[in-house]
Amino acid sequence: MPSGWEAVIGLEVHAQLKTHTKLFSSAPHAFGAPPNTQTTEVDLGLPGVLPVLNEHAVELAVRAALGLGCSLQPVSTFARKHYFYPDLPKGYQISQYDEPFAKGGAVPLDDGAIGLTRIHMEEDAAKNIHDDAVTGGGVTHVDLNRAGAPLIEIVSEPQIRSPEQAGAYLRSLRQVLRHLDVSDADMEKGQFRCDANVSVRRVGDPKLGTRTELKNLNSFRFVERAIAHEIERQVEQIESGGKVKQETLHWDDRAARSSAMRGKEHADDYRYFPDPDLPPLRLDAAFLAAQRAKLPELPQARRARYRAELGLPDYDAQVLTDDRDVAAFFEAAVALYGQPKLVSNWVMRDVLAAATELQKPLAELPLTAEHLVELLKLVDAGRITAASAREVFAEMARTGGRAEAIVRARGLEAVSDAGELERHARDVVAANAAQVAKYRGGETKLLNFFVGQVMKATGGKADPARLREILARLLA
């Protein structure tokens, strides 16, 4: 941050709700479908069609608002937001304007919270494709599959003061939405998009500066870099005697610069008026109570519980609660096995590594908490070594096989017979007279050398604890 200045940042996040059909039509909206295959007459804006509100979308939107501590409005209305662009077939977007369904609330951060102004529902626009490689050069194509997809727009108060805090806010918000199971919030699929309103003022000045809007930032890194660049640009412009122009900007991350898209619109520019085809949305007490009952434990509360009740360090608690499915896997394993820290180590190291290597989310792996617990019990019984256990786990994650069957098929049963271990240990001691002399001369760390040699001789299958006891006795 340039010395003597402070930034005032507000974020508008569009999160796509996890429904099978669109907000006002029966069309599906699955990601990756061939262009213009997921539309109905409603999405195309054909004359005479009427929108019908998706009840499931309302349920998810309300659940999101409850999870973020918003005040739910018993009556809200839909409005038409007019603008003309190829991605908007009707010439207007159905949204909520002066009467949103949720007000207030906050997004939790590790060191406090960022307040929310409102959450409202709206339909998504279509997608314009400008890529010359796709269009053949100089032509824009429109894919209407996304038109009408259900969104909630989450508008923060202008309480964010740095690019880093903006990134922390977005990560926390995305985490909450995913734990609530209201949105997959996959930024690469356009399910979690951010616009940033940025202005600067001198420290201590209560007056807000002129703000600009950075549009459609689709990664946390882009958001942080774009905001940092815009802060520096505005300060430099003011200090050189110029004025900041209120406008909408496009961020080019490759070039690390922004460019003007258009002058910043005001509400009057959109000519909002109530949608005559949609009655007011009424949320009664029974409906709200039913949605409140579906709220899960949220990440911040879960982290606190892991620290207080399970004795996990902050780092473990943070990693395990980052994803709802990972947290559920961890808790199921602890319920079956106990030993939270040991289970945490396996989840953070092996489970997450398997998901990364196989390029699948945990929920799509053929792996359950029961698989992991069976494996850990084989280690406890001394039937396999810790090193072999990791090999077994890798195959379990790939194939869904059970630990017992994999151990037998691969011949990984640990060598724990005292007589066999002692035979291998005596052979190693006899073959390494120089190291034996050094050990007996006080270099006791050489015990690890002897353990390694026996492990090599047994293909890594020797029981480490028993082996160390035998070697220590032979070397004494």
pLDDT band at 474 (very low <50, low <70, confident <90, very high): confident
Domain locations along the chain: 5-290, 297-410, 418-475
Mean pLDDT value across residues 298-319: 95
**Element holding 437 (H helix, E strand):** helix 433-440
Whole-number pLDDT of residue 278: 96
pLDDT tens column, 79-122: 999 988 888 989 999 999 999 999 999 999 988 999 999 999 99
* Average confidence score pLDDT of the chain: 89
pLDDT tens column, 199-232: 999 998 889 999 999 987 888 999 999 999 999 9
Whole-number pLDDT of residue 265: 63
Whole-number pLDDT of residue 419: 61
What predicted TM-score, i.e. pTM, was given to this entire model? 0.84
Between these two residues, 27 and 436, which has the higher pLDDT value?
27
pLDDT tens column, 20-66: 999 999 999 999 899 999 999 999 989 999 999 999 999 999 999 99
Overall residue count recorded for the chain in this entry: 476
Whole-number pLDDT of residue 236: 93
Q: Show the DSSP H helices in 46-194 as ranges.
A: 55-67, 132-135, 163-179
> By C-alpha distance, which of 29, 27, 86 is closest to 52?
27
CA angle in degrees (0–180, nearest 5) for 298-299-300: 100
- Strands 247-252 and 212-217, sheet pairing: parallel
Whole-number pLDDT of residue 133: 53
pLDDT band at 354 (very low <50, low <70, confident <90, very high): very high
Q: Show the DSSP H helices in 68-161 as ranges.
A: 132-135
What percent of the chain clears pLDDT 90, i.e. is strictly above it?
66
Is CATH 1.10.10.410 the right assignment for the domain spanning 418-475? yes
Between these two residues, 443 and 137, which has the higher pLDDT value?
443
> Which of 80-89, 235-244, 400-409, 451-460 is least confident?
451-460
pLDDT tens column, 149-202: 999 999 999 999 999 999 999 999 999 999 999 999 999 899 999 999 999 999
| Both structure tokens of 249 | 């900007």
What gap in Å lies between CA 246 and CA 243, rounded to an integer?
9
**Element holding 260 (H helix, E strand):** strand 257-263
pLDDT tens column, 366-403: 999 999 999 999 888 878 877 788 889 999 999 999 98
Between these two residues, 254 and 419, which has the higher pLDDT value?
254
Query: What is the three-class DSSP state of 16?
Result: strand
Q: Is the dihedral of CA 311, 315, 317, 320 positive or negative?
A: negative
